[in-house]
Chains A and B, each alone.
Chain A
Amino acid sequence: MQKPVSSYSDTELYALLHTEGKEREEAFTVLYTRYSSRVFLYCRCILNDRDLVRDVFQETWLRLLQGAGQGRRLENVPAYLLRICRNLCFDIKKKARTRVVVSFEDFNFPVEDNALETKELQTLIATALEMLTDDYREAFILQAYNGLSYKEIAEVIDEPVSTVRNRVVRAKYKVREILAPYLAGYRP
Chain B
Amino acid sequence: MAMAMNNSQHYTPSELIYLFLDGESDGVQQSTLFAALAHDAELQSEFQEAVLVGRTLDRVRNDVHPPQDFTEQVFTAAGFTPPLFQPAPIPVAGKWSASLHTIIRRVGIPVASAFIGALTMFLLMNTGRNNDIVTPVRPVAESTNIQHTHTNSSNPVVSTPTHRADDGAANTFVSAGSRQADKRSSAKSSRIASGIHSSARDRASASVASDGGAGTQSTADNPVVTLSLPDPEPQQLVVDAPVPLVDQVTPQTPAQQLDPPAAYADMQPIYRWDRGGNAGSPGVSMFVRGIESISSFPDRKNNIEASGSTSNVGFGCLYHYSRNQAVGMEVTRELLPIHSLGEGDAELNSVLLWIGGLWQIQTDFPGLRSDIQPFLRLGLGGTAYGPSGKALLGIMYTAEQRLSISLGVETTALVAWRNGVVGSTEKIAFSYGLSFHF
Contact = CB atoms under 8 A, between A and B. Distances in A.
**A and B together in one complex:** yes
Interface of A: 25, 28-29, 32-33, 36-41, 44, 54, 57-58, 61-62, 65, 109-118, 120-122, 125, 143-147, 149-151, 160-162, 165-166, 168-170, 172-173, 175-176, 179-188
B344 A116 contact: no
Interface of B: 2, 5-6, 8-9, 11, 14-15, 18-19, 22-24, 45-46, 48-54, 56-57, 59-61, 63-67, 70-71, 73-75, 77-78, 80-81, 83, 85-88, 98, 102, 105, 340, 342-346, 348, 350, 418-421, 423
A186 B52 contact: yes
A38 B143 CA distance: 89
Contacts of A57: 66, 70, 74
Closest 3 CB pairs of A and B: A184-B344, A185-B340, A185-B346
A183 B345 CA distance: 9
A121 B53 contact: yes
A65 B78 contact: yes
Contact of A161 (B5, B52, B60, B83): B5
22 contacts: A25-B80, A33-B85, A33-B87, A36-B65, A36-B66, A36-B85, A38-B61, A61-B74, A109-B64, A118-B56, A145-B57, A162-B6, A165-B5, A165-B24, A176-B46, A176-B50, A180-B49, A182-B346, A184-B344, A184-B346, A187-B419, A188-B51
A37 B77 CA distance: 19
Contacts of B23: 149
A119 to B, nearest CB: 9
A120 B65 contact: no
A172 B74 contact: no
B347 to A, nearest CB: 9
A111 B64 CA distance: 6
Contacts of A65: 78
Contact of A185 (B46, B50, B56, B419): B419
A172 B50 contact: yes
A17 to B, nearest CB: 10
B99 to A, nearest CB: 8
Given A145-B57, A168-B18, A188 B419 contact: yes
A37 B63 CA distance: 9
Contact of B73 (A54, A111, A117): A54
A187 B45 contact: yes
B346 A186 contact: yes
A49 to B, nearest CB: 14
B15 A173 contact: yes
B209 to A, nearest CB: 74
A185 B87 CA distance: 33
B73 A120 contact: no
A33 B73 CA distance: 15
A62 B77 contact: yes
B163 to A, nearest CB: 73
B20 to A, nearest CB: 10
B352 to A, nearest CB: 9
Contact of A181 (B53, B59, B344): B344
Contacts of B420: 187-188
Given A117-B418, A173-B15, A41 B61 contact: yes
B74 A58 contact: yes
